[in-house]
Amino acid sequence: MNAHIGRGEGDHRVAVYPGSFDPVTFGHLDIIRRAAKQFDHLIVSVLNNLTKSPLFSVEERVELLREITKDLPNVEVDSFRDLLVRYMRSKQAQIIIRGIRSVTDFEYELQMASTNRQLDEGIETIFMMTNPKYSYLSSSIVKEIAKFHGPVQDLVPPAVEAALRKKYTGDRPG
Ligand code: ADP
């Protein structure tokens, strides 16, 4: 037996970590690294949410995630625009990973987890507590700082820092 968490015995445990990742931060990366240790396969999947207007395209977000997880052999990066539980079934995944930073996160996450459970009882949501170092960190905060050309090197990997610099250089109207 090993120390893995999740369902079943002896089966291949596939987890999905869904999110906007606009852009990925050290907080997300910490969850990815820790989750990758717990499951046979981890799919980090960018939600293509047509109602939000992101800074980075889905392709850019996927590319950045691939770059920063390339040293993790059991991590795959993908994107989806389907209902999460249906996407999970198509990937034969049983576990949803979500990160919790605060009570505010918890309320929203509980609602999401309960909804997904209602849609498919076979799918389990597992929450991972933030590394206290990153408990304040969000993609929005990073974008806010980068917009004003503030320092983000302690918040995001170098590839993301470079991508942010490119987005916010020069050509912004107003
Ligand atoms: P979403 O729009 O789906 O919430 P995010 O990219 O903002 O997408 O977050 C994806 C997941 O990562 C969520 O479960 C969120 O709570 C978690 N997360 C975001 N930032 C951190 C952090 N600093 N520490 C731990 N978990 C985090």
The predicted structure's pLDDT at residue 172:
53
The answer to the question of residue 95 being in a domain is yes
Q: Measure the CA–CA gap between 101 and 91, rounded to whole angstroms.
A: 27
How many residues in total does the chain contain? Answer: 174
The answer to the question of residue 173 being in a domain is no
Sign of CA dihedral 78, 79, 80, 84: positive
Catalytic residues: 28, 52, 101, 139
The domain of 59 spans 14-167
The answer to the question of residue 94 being in a domain is yes
pLDDT tens profile 93-126: 999 999 999 999 999 999 999 999 999 999 999 9
Percent of the chain with pLDDT over 90: 87
The answer to the question of residue 2 being in a domain is no
pLDDT tens profile 146-158: 999 999 999 999 9
> Ligand 1 within 6 A of 38 CB?
no
Q: Measure the CA–CA gap between 114 and 154, rounded to whole angstroms.
A: 34
The answer to the question of residue 174 being in a domain is no
The predicted structure's pLDDT at residue 5:
53
Average pLDDT of the segment spanning 130-139 = 96
Counting the structural domains of the chain, the total is 1
What is the 141 CA–ligand 1 centroid distance (Å)?
A: 12
Six-digit token string for 41 = 């396969």
pLDDT tens profile 22-61: 999 999 999 999 999 999 999 999 999 877 799 999 999 9
Q: Give residue 24's Cα distance to chain centre.
A: 7
Percent of the chain with pLDDT over 70: 91
Question: Which atom of ligand 1 lies closest to the CA of 98?
Answer: 14
Nearest CA, atom 16, ligand 1: 99
The residues facing 47 across adjacent strands are 80
Q: Cβ distance 40 to 67 under 8 Å? A: no
Question: Which atom of ligand 1 lies closest to the CA of 22?
Answer: 6
The predicted structure's pLDDT at residue 11:
80
The answer to the question of residue 47 being in a domain is yes
What is the 26 CA–ligand 1 centroid distance (Å)?
A: 11
CB atoms within 10 A of CB 39: 24
**Which residues lie closer than 8 Å to 152 by C-beta, 6 or more apart?**
142, 145, 146, 160, 161, 164
What is the 10 CA–ligand 1 centroid distance (Å)?
A: 30
The answer to the question of residue 135 being in a domain is yes
Q: Cβ distance 126 to 117 under 8 Å? A: no
**Which residues lie closer than 8 Å to 167 by C-beta, 6 or more apart?**
55, 56, 146
Query: Residue 127's domain is classified under what CATH number?
Result: 3.40.50.620
> Ligand 1 within 6 A of 99 CB?
yes
Nearest CA, atom 17, ligand 1: 99
Q: Cβ distance 61 to 22 under 8 Å? A: yes
The answer to the question of residue 86 being in a domain is yes
